Amino acid sequence: MNQLESAVSNITGSLSSESGKVLSLDGYSELSIHSIEDLLNILGSFECGENDFWYRGQSDFSWGLNPGFFRLKGNVSESTLLMRFKQTAAQLISSTPKESFDWMFLMQHYGLPTRLLDWSESPLIGLYFAVENINQHDKDGSLWILNPIKLNAISRIQSHKEDFFIPSFEDEVLNNYTLESVRSGHQNVSLLPIAIIATRNNPRIQAQLGVFTVHHTENETIEKAVTHPNHFLKIKIPAEAKNKLKKQLSMLGYSRFQIFPELSSISDVIKERML
């Protein structure tokens, strides 16, 4: 453990011991944060054993947990997007994906709308995405906390052999979520969103500790998937706190280059700090 991780761990421990309130992912608690300390205080207050959470930051508090494909305003099919992407992408990649999920992952990685929704296993990376866009600093943001095991239990994706099972792109339980299944006319069957993991085979997803949820055919946000939620919590990030939180994250080493370890990020960081 390095000095930064040790410091954060110590803060979390002290805040947890000082807080007498026990929290759970009930979907209803009204919480807000103005600092990293506030976030650590919340994370240290969850029930014992509830800590294998996923995190997603959004710059606008009004946005729900809906993938990019379902936010499209035009009338275009997922298969058409995939075919157009394949048309040119095939000559630019060293290894051609074999399965449609592999193609969907590539599309998501390069910014094309899919049925995937990005999450992180790190709360600070999730927070980064809620505050990094200075053009959105006039709006309240949100940090979503998700229990992937409980989300999958609601969707009846469980293993009787292990408690912490989360399917990957290769698992058979995802067959109903593939592009082929959706395209073949199974739209009369509506399945709930589920949590999945993918091989971290590029620097960006590794840096972001990336994980995903995938929707089926229903244009329904994850937070509205069930009547009595026990799988998520939404934390408000007031607009006036965003700049402070962004500076605190930068001090802890969470800048654009750490989140997006690419050449273009180096230029962005230099321009932001020096120009």
Q: What is the reported pLDDT for 265?
A: 86
Residue 246, pLDDT score: 96
**Taking the domains of the chain in order of start, what are their residue ranges?**
26-274
Task: Note the pLDDT of residue 12.
Answer: 43
Q: Can you give the pLDDT at residue 185?
A: 59
Contact (CB, 8 A) for 212 and 118: yes
Question: From the first residue on, what is the mean pLDDT of each consecutive set of 10 residues in the chain (275 residues)?
Answer: 46 44 79 96 80 93 94 88 89 82 89 94 97 96 95 84 84 86 70 90 90 91 80 96 96 92 84 77
pLDDT at 178: 87
Please report the pLDDT score of residue 18 as a whole number. 43
3-state helix, strand, coil in the chain (%, to 5): 45, 15, 40
How far is CA 35 from each of CA 135, 137, 235, rounded to the nearest angstrom? 20, 15, 12
- Token reading at 84: 């157009």
Stated as kind and residue range, the H or E segment containing 117 is: strand 116-120
